[in-house]
Chains A and B, each alone.
Chain A
Amino acid sequence: MPDTLLWYTTRGAGAVTLILLSSVVVLGILSALRVQTARWPRFLTTGLHRNLALMTLVFLALHIVTAVVDPFTHLGWAAALIPFSSYYRTLWLGLGVISFELLLAIAVTSLLRGYLGHNTWRAIHWLTYAAWPVGVIHGLGSGTDTWSAWMLAITAACVAAIGVAIILRLTIGSTDPLASARATFRTAVDRREVR
């Protein structure tokens, strides 16, 4: 029974991770778009983005740990940390490892943002656009439940949500409420007089 419990946990945590991660990415894109309404102030978007991201890592850890410690899988820790080192579904699991490590880098650099500087943090944060699709492909390729109706529905919903968010981001662009004030201030201090 414990064996099947671990296996079910792995699969469940994987599905939950996909839902959480997709929500985090959508919230991230919405925060870049500065979406807000009277009842939804902007700090809610960023606060939720941050907290859900930390929760995603918890479920991701659960997904990985239960898969490795499950005696039936014989995966071993190396398979969880070194891409494409697993005997089992080498390609698909390898993609999962890559996605996990990218997300870890994104999370760690976010926690250390004050020490890294904005540009470094931002460059690494952009890796989300790689981590998310790689993670989705990992799920499609290695998932035991991939073709069951409920999992298909979850995956489709996540892909659709991200797709809509990206289209919004590309079409609307960012409406910066500070833009005109900043431009005004800059005309007052924007000069170059070194001799």
Chain B
Amino acid sequence: MTRLLDAPERFGPLPQMGGGFIDAIEQSRLVGRGGAGFPVATKWRAVAKRSGGRAVVVVNGAEGEPRSQKDRLVMTWRPHLVLDGAFIAARVLHARRVILYIGERHEKARSAMLRALGERTEPEGALVTVAAAPARYVAGAESAAIHFLNDGVATPTTAPPLPFEQGVDRAPTLVQNVETLAQIGLLARLGQAPATTLVTLAGAVMRTGVLEADRGTTVADAVRGAGGPTESSRAVLVGGYFGSWVEPEVAWQLPLDHETLRRHGLGLGCGVIGLLPAGACPVCETAGIMRYLAAESSAQCGPCFFGLRALADACSRISDGSSDGNDLSRLRRWVDEVPGRGACRHPDGAALFLSSALRVFDREFANHRAHDMRRTA
């Protein structure tokens, strides 16, 4: 079967697509690749039902996750497949607008997309506008993208209304990740979506970067495909900064697909697999990521802004040795009080990440001695 990154850069003109195409998506059991892993067919049906020729399609290439590179890669190397997916969405959902929402720092990706757009002759090309997504973690969230396109402010908003009810221009809106749209493109072209997932390997692997994993591929296979680990691993971060730390011996056997991981209580998220080398300090690493996530709170909800800051501060005090000895018990208590208390899922993701750190690095957090942070950086 053709894989995403092996597919021809460009196929011929788009085949005709009817409403029956949503059934084909449903049969392929495709889920969104932006992080939430939501079933694509369900989302399309919800928009199709309300569209009435007004729907808006947002092509989400914001890719704000610092360690992820796969969205940029798809836009840069297979822009026509992304446009295929976007045009099909526009056709099937009777959309009035298509917006390419591309991270402002992803210049190569944007120019590749614009070049590809210039080569297209389908009528959907005339529906397309381009927006530069601010380079912040939350800017890629569905509601933040819609808020930005409506009001110029890329912060998440409360739901309801959900995007399919009221999104860009208050019209039913489909916000779909670029990898997902490329998958849709291949599904339309070949009658079958490739059962693959793009993952970004980060940290202590020989070749960091993007890999296309076939269904059934395990973390161990992917790491082997990237030349193996540079040294023995202390833990594996599955799913990026909103994911979880996992013990290496457990992680190696995990398959890289959303469904199976969910059954393990994990998530593939945006597809980042990060290897923490045994020589690094897990506490300092966790504290650094928590500081980042706290700083990325858009300061709209108190529990997120103050909660994440308190969590990050406590982590930092443990990591730099200035803790009064109570911070670890505070962390264990507070980490359960943050989720579900923000308008968006930012606090939930950060708390999930920290919970996994407290579990997997239990020993290190309890026995952490201050040391020169530069040594572990």
Contacts and interface: CB of A to CB of B under 8 A. Distances in A.
Contact of B99 (A115, A117, A188, A194): A194
B336 to A, nearest CB: 15
Nearest to B343: A118
Interface string A112-128: 00011110000000000
A189 B153 contact: yes
Contact of B134 (A116, A178, A189): A189
A115 B162 CA distance: 10
B93 interface: no
Interface in A156-177: 177
B139 A189 contact: yes
A167 B3 CA distance: 67
A194 B130 CA distance: 5
Nearest to B144: A189
B136 A188 contact: yes
A178 B305 contact: yes
A87 interface: no
Contacts of A115: 160
Contact of A194 (B129, B155, B299): B129
A195 B148 contact: no
Interface in A177-195: 177-178, 181-182, 184-186, 188-195
Contacts of A177: 302, 306
B56 to A, nearest CB: 12
B154 interface: yes
A13 B347 CA distance: 43
B305 A117 contact: no
B161 interface: yes
B85 to A, nearest CB: 20
Given A117-B158, A190-B153, A195-B129, A182 B300 contact: yes
A71 to B, nearest CB: 47
A186 to B, nearest CB: 6
Given A178-B300, A195-B130, A189 B136 contact: yes
Interface in A89-148: 115-118
B148 A189 contact: yes
A118 B158 contact: yes
Contacts of A184: 299
Contacts of B302: 177-178
Contacts of B289: none
Interface in B15-71: none
Contacts of A185: 136, 155, 297-299
Given A190-B153, A193-B132, A181 B299 contact: yes
A129 to B, nearest CB: 23
B220 interface: no
B305 A186 contact: no
B149 interface: yes
A189 B154 contact: yes
A195 B99 CA distance: 9
A190 B154 CA distance: 7
B131 interface: yes
Contacts of B306: 177
Contacts of B139: 189
B227 interface: no
Nearest to B168: A194
25 contacts: A117-B159, A177-B306, A178-B300, A181-B299, A182-B298, A182-B300, A185-B297, A185-B298, A185-B299, A186-B153, A186-B155, A188-B134, A188-B136, A189-B144, A189-B155, A189-B298, A190-B153, A190-B154, A191-B148, A191-B154, A193-B131, A193-B132, A194-B130, A195-B130, A195-B131
Interface of A: 115-118, 177-178, 181-182, 184-186, 188-195
Given A189-B136, A194-B130, 7 more contacts: A178-B299, A182-B298, A185-B155, A186-B155, A189-B139, A190-B153, A194-B99
